Structure formats: structure tokens, C-alpha cells
Structure 1
Amino acid sequence: MAQAYIRLAHGLDVHSPGYIDGYGGPAEWADRSERSPQQLQEEAARLTDLVAQVTDPARRTFLEVQSRAMHTLVRMLGGERLAYSEEVRGLYDIDPERADLAELEDGLNRMDAALPGSGTLEEREERLRARVQLDPDDVLRVTTPVLDELRRRTGNTFWLPEGEDFSIGLVRNQPWGGYNWPLGNLRSRIDINVDLPVLLPSLPDLMAHEGYPGHHTEHSGKEARLVRERGWHEHSIQLINAPECVVSEGIAVNALDAVMTPAEVREWLTGDLSRVAGLDPDDVRAWLALQDARESARGVNGHAALMLHEDHAPQAQVVEFLMRYNVVSEARALKSLEFITHPSFRSYTFTYSVGGRLVRRAMQAGAPREVFARLLTEPVTPGELAR
């Protein structure tokens, strides 16, 4: 069954490059021979039959949801045109959500009150952003103590498999700010895109998201617990357009809160990390106040994607929306537009907003650390999280 799952994933990746985010399983299962959408449809039907025979309910539920998403992608590759909302539901097992425009306007008012100085909201935001931005040459130097502390806390709070590790590097010309590439063998690679400003106040969250206890911790933990200990080889592959991404991004969005309180993060940033980076702690405090005020902007990019792909609004109107409610320049709004028009990511944006909310509510409903620990090492679907 796992071999059929992995073989189908590689067949889909041939038609939709980037569908596979990482693979660390047997090389002979990675069949990249080109098959027609009709042949892939037949493979998907055969996989459904095999999944139905899986006896472990947790394993079967995960595979049922994942294989349904594969069916959706096969239909799209075969030329079927799906409504955008149906595409999101079919690929990710969630409903796309629009932002509350009244909340966005309220957020702008709170940001206006939080930002020091005179001038427009964007002008003041850009001035403050420049004062908390790291020089690209300093990014890796400042990142090292951040990762060291997050790794220590993750190991003490949760669990890290022996031998896990990752490399980190700087890249350009990408539609995202940071990315974790699972490499298998308990390892991954983290890339930081220095085309976008790397801000000190955002660095702990970025490294928690991509590293500890976010993507790297989840991928290595599931490889150790599910693949190596239980023989569930379907977890040796990570897919982009699949329900597992909702849970994975939900974990990553809440990763920093799982190991540090907001007060601890604030003290760390305005103390040791400001000294390491050579930045004014008062500027860092001002940016943190701005981050608190912009909390309501979580759904801006998803709303923009619905405007573009479902309402068929002109791109210029979508860019204006992104500039206004993300409080960014046109150049940075165009970078967000690049993400929501990218073939692999056009519907992915909801994995952050919806996934983050689902994981946050699950943690609030139970013992937060126990819930988070389960998500790091067990297969859980978006539907299970919602329930």
C-alpha cells in the first residue's frame, strides 16, 4: 500500500512539479515514468482499494484523506476545471475562509495608534521596519543563538530523535520568506529568502516555524516514530497539495507558543538578541507592539486569493487590497501576489490561516503541550483537528 501511495505521488509530481516536498524512502519506489492522467486515475482507484484494507484506524483515516486529495489533483491534471473553493476543499480537506473586513479596518486603526512618528501608516511602518531589519550578512550569525535556544527548549519540552539535524542557507528569487526542505534520514534544509527583509523581531517565530519545534521537528519525529518504528512508509514522503499540509503549517504557526510564552519572547528579543544584532531594544519593542496590533491581518492573503481566483478581480485591485491591509509597499504586495498565483501555492495560503486556527483551538481545548506533542509524532487529519 505504501509503495502504491509513493509511486502515485511521483507520477503526479511529473505532471505537477513541486508536488513532492521531500522524499526519504526507497529509491526503487520513486517511479517517475510518465503516465497519462487516465493511468494515474487507475492507480488512484487501486490505491483507494488498498487503503480500505488497512486495519489500523489512525493510519487508514490519514490515508483516506490523503488519497482523496490525490484523486482531486488527478482530476485537475485530466483537464477538469474546479471552482476555486472546491479546489481548496478537494486538496486540503478544509473550507477557504474570507477575512472580516471590519476586523481588518479595526486592525489598521490599532496599527496607526501603535506606530510612532508622523506620516502615512505605510511610511511609518517602513521606517520602523528598516530599523529592525538585519543585514543579509548578519542573518546567519544572529540565527545561530536563536536555533540553539529553540532546540534546547524543544528537547526539554517534547522529544527529538537522536541524529536529527539540518543545514541552513540564504537564497533569492523565491515566492516565500522561509522554507524547510525535508531530506529524509532525520535531516532537512532550511532556506531563508533574503530578497525579503529579515526582521529580528520575526526571527524566533521564523526559526520555530521552520526548525524547532516546527517543520523540522515534525518531519524528523514522524520519520522516527512512524516510518522507522512502525513501518508506515507513507510518512517518508511529504506532499505539498495535500491535507497533511494543513496540520503541518498549523503546527509551525503555533510552534513558538509551544515552547515560549509571549513574555519570554519579548524579554529575549529586547535583551540578548537585540545586543547580538546591534539593534535598539526600543525599536524592537515598537515592532512587537505593531505585531500585536496586526494580529487581525492573518486572513489577508487568503481573502486576496479568493478575490483573484473566485471573484476574478483584476490583479491591480488585489495588489491594492494587499498593500492596504498588509500595510506594505507595492513591491512586497507583488511578492504576495506571486505566492498566490504560483501553481503549487495558489490554494496553499489557507493552510496557514485555517491550519493555525485549528491547531490553536485544539491546544486551547486540551492540555496544550500534550496536544502539540501528539501532532508532532502521530498522523492527524484536518477533520480530526476540527472535531
Structure 2
Amino acid sequence: MRALVLGFLLLLGACATSPATRPDPSGDTLDAVARDYVALILEIGEREPGYVDAYYGPPEWAEAARANPRDVPALIQGAASLTERLNALSVAGAEPAVTQRKAYLLAHVSAAAARLRMVGGERMRFADEAEALFGVRPELRPLSDFDPILAEIDRLVPGEGELSARVAAFRGGFQIPTDRLQAVFDASIAECRARTIRHIDLPANERFTLAFVTDKPWSGYNYYLGGAASRIEINTDQPIFTDRAIDLGCHEAYPGHHVYNALLEQTFVVERGWVEMSVYPLYSPMSFVAEGSANYGIDLAFPGDEAARFERETLLPLAGLTGAPVQQKAELNVLVRRLARAEYTIADDYLAGRIDRAEATRLLSRYMLTTPERAAQRVRFIDTYRSYIINYGLGRDVVQAWVERQEPDHWRGMETLLASQMLPVDLL
């Protein structure tokens, strides 16, 4: 299938050798702008640790950025200059892929400029920040909108005490013992991979390593290393449940972040020489597609009740658990997913200072139906990543809607998206 997708994309325009149909009188090109864009992103990464999520271009470019990074005002001016150059470049008569390349670069330079303003001290309202960085404006709904969902969950998980405590106790029956984490995750990721490679052709040398870590604000992370390789880390600060092993196996690996980065590298960097795709700025429209597709990939790989069946037949025995009510938990998960956007409203209030950390923790525990400890970890995530949280729930919903509008073969739509420079605005 990948050959068909690549054939289509190459037909749209293989512009490593033919940027735009009309050369700019100044001699500027998309390739030249792309090179300077990579330098900009790498230098921002020197001013904000963690901003560059992945880089697998020429090592000397990273060394140059480390040796002599511009200060923040100069970088803001550099972003403005790149925008001017891009706007001056004509793509009239160019192949659609070239037009898309220009749009992609414009959107990512705009996000970089917004992030630089934040590094310089500017603070935006939650929705404004999300739109500036990720290209999508989230709706902030009152928390009362989510109370009917809590009522449904209350009926599903009856008992005494706070609903969040009851749900946490119920989930505790699926907790993976520490000494069985490796076996459960190995089996889960292997199954995620087997289901993915039936539909998507991956580079022959694709591979990953898996490590368990602590003291992180996130539950899992994929560090893409280039050369079709990833390092996947799973945080064990909080209990991990058997269904979460499926989620993380798909999200971080197959068909999630590992596949996304491997296809981008193969399609653009290796086959076309489009250097802008050798760097991944975390706070950019790229993350909306990355996180949204990684979350949608869970449902794509395990449609219907297949995740529950795999969990019951394979993961629970590996975890040494028996008799856990998998079907009831699957019903619970469907309802909990509908609560996801409550987090945006809580984060908006917390980051704006309308509620303090204790209240944010309490509300997250209530509306995410989790323990105070896990809610506190989520507040730590919001402290670090702020409006990035929209990329998970809203991103999944937007990606799912786009993929399932394309054609009956949802895997083919997914592969087309993962091997493209499509922006969030293209998916809406």
C-alpha cells in the first residue's frame, strides 16, 4: 500500500529538485528558506530546552546552533524575515505538494514566532495560545456540561464515597505488578506492531528500545532518533493498568509516534531532501497531527471490542490477574473519553490564576476520575506543557473525522496523513 501512497504524493510534486515552477527573481527558494527554518528551530531549542522534540539532520547544523545561538529578540526578527521570504515566493503553477510545502513552512514559522514571544515573557489566554502554537482553537465548555457524564459513570460504578475514588479502586483491579511490566508491554507493543504492518509498509530498519523511568510529568514519551529508530520511555511513578499498556503501545509506537516520524523521515528527508522535516518543534501544528493520530491509532489498531479481548486473553494472564471485569471497564473508558475536554477548562482557569494548584488538582481528580496523586501529576504536566493538552482529545477527534471521511479503508487514509505535510487546518 505504501507504494501507492508514495506514488500519489510524488505525482503531486517531488520538489527536492523542482521547488517552484517560477524561480524567484531574488534567487530565493523554498529549499533555502527550509534550511534557514531548521537553523531557527535549532537555535530556539538552545533558548528553551525541550522545544526540539527530534532532530536527525546534519550534525554540524546542530553544532552551529549550540555554538552561536541568536538571542530571543534576534530570533523573533529571524522568524519575521522567514515569513517575509515565504510570502514573497510564488508557487503559482506549482504542483499541489509545493503549495502545501509553503503553507506548512508558513504555519510552522508562525508557531515558532509565537513560542518565542512566550519565551520572552508574553502570556496568552489558553485558547489564544493553543491556536497560535497548534493551529486549532479549542472550545472551553463550562464544567457543568460534563456533570451528566459523571452521573452515567456513577451508575456504572456504584458504591459509597467519591466517584473518583470508586473508579480508581475499580481500575486498581487491572494494575500491572512492577515485575510484570516488561512482559506486558513487550506483548502489547508486539501486537500493536503486528496490526500496523498488515496495513502500512515501514522502513526495513525501523526499530525501538523500551525503558521504564520515573520522575516525569508524562506517562509515556517517544524520543525519535532518526534512521527509523525510537527510544520509548514509560513512566512508572503512578500505577499502570493493562488497558493503558495497549494505549501506550499504540500511541508511542505503532501506529503512533514511531510510525509517524519514520514515515516523515522516509518520505521527505530521505526520498525528497526536504530538510524542514528533519526537525520536530514540539510547540507546533505538527504536534496536533502527531498526538491526534497517535490517539486515533489506538482505535484503528483495535476496533470494536478487540482491545478488550486482547486484554482479557493475553495481557491479564501476563500480569497475573484473573477475573477482572474487562467489559465493564471498556464501557467506563468510553464514558471517560467524553470527559476529556473538561481538562481544557480547568487548565484555562489554572493557568490564568483563577484557581490555585490545589483546586486544579481537585477538579482534575473529579473530572478525570483519578486519584489525587495522578491528578497532581497532570497539573505538573500542565505547568510544563500548558495548552499542549488540546492535541490529545481534540486532536484525536479531528484526525478521526478526517480519516473516516476519506474512504472505507481507514488505514489507507491514516497512512496518507502520516506521510504528509497536512496541517490541522487541512483536517477541519
Please state which band the TM-score falls in when normalised by the shorter chain.
over 0.9
Distance 2:215 2:161 in 1: 31
Distance 2:267 2:420 in 1: 8
Moved more, 80-89 or 314-323: 80-89
Offset, 1:116: 5.4
Amino acid at match of 1:289: E
- 1:85-116 per-position Cα deviation (integer Å, ceiling 9, x unaligned): 32221111111332453442122112112225
Offset, 1:214: 0.4
Aligned to 1:365: 405
Offset, 1:50: 4.1
Matches within 5 A, 1:119-138: 119-138=161-180
- 1:116-136 per-position Cα deviation (integer Å, ceiling 9, x unaligned): 555442332232222101112
Amino acid at match of 1:175: P
Q: Secondary structure at 1:176's aligned position in 2?
A: coil
Assess if the C-alpha contact under 8 Å between 1:362 and 1:385 holds in 2.
yes
Assess if the C-alpha contact under 8 Å between 2:404 and 2:413 holds in 1.
no
* Residue 308 (str. 1) matches residue 308 (str. 2): no
Offset, 1:63: 0.8
Matches within 5 A, 1:1-387: 1-30=33-62, 31-32=65-66, 33-52=68-87, 53=89, 55=91, 56-99=98-141, 101-115=143-157, 118-310=160-352, 312-342=354-384, 345-367=385-407, 368-386=410-428
Distance 1:235 1:14 in 2: 19
Amino acid at match of 2:113: H
Distance 1:19 1:78 in 2: 14
Moved more, 160-169 or 357-366: 357-366
Distance 1:282 1:316 in 2: 33
- 1:229-270 per-position Cα deviation (integer Å, ceiling 9, x unaligned): 011111111111111100111101101222221221121111
Q: Secondary structure at 1:181's aligned position in 2?
A: strand
TM-score (norm 1): 0.94
Offset, 1:309: 2.1
Cα distance change of structure 1 residues 77 and 184 upon mapping to structure 2, 3 Å threshold: same
Amino acid at match of 1:355: G
Distance 1:138 1:6 in 2: 42
Aligned to 2:23: none
- 1:262-293 per-position Cα deviation (integer Å, ceiling 9, x unaligned): 22112111112222222124333332222122
Distance 1:354 1:4 in 2: 31
Amino acid at match of 2:99: P
TM-score (norm 2): 0.85
Q: Secondary structure at 2:50's aligned position in 1?
A: coil
Aligned to 2:17: none
Cα distance change of structure 1 residues 228 and 318 upon mapping to structure 2, 3 Å threshold: same
Larger of the two Rg values belongs to structure: 2
Amino acid at match of 1:14: E
- 1:4-43 per-position Cα deviation (integer Å, ceiling 9, x unaligned): 1111111111221110011111012121223222211232
Provide the identity percentage. Answer: 30
Assess if the C-alpha contact under 8 Å between 2:255 and 2:297 holds in 1.
yes
RMSD (Å), alpha carbons: 1.8
Distance 1:225 1:281 in 2: 46
Distance 1:293 1:85 in 2: 25
Q: Secondary structure at 1:347's aligned position in 2?
A: helix
Cα distance change of structure 1 residues 363 and 12 upon mapping to structure 2, 3 Å threshold: same
Unaligned runs of 5+ residues in structure 2 are: 1-32, 92-97
Cα distance change of structure 1 residues 80 and 289 upon mapping to structure 2, 3 Å threshold: closer
Q: Secondary structure at 1:143's aligned position in 2?
A: helix
Distance 1:120 1:321 in 2: 12
Moved more, 222-231 or 260-269: 260-269
Moved more, 48-57 or 36-45: 48-57
Q: Secondary structure at 2:101's aligned position in 1?
A: helix
The count of aligned residue pairs is 384
Distance 1:354 1:247 in 2: 10
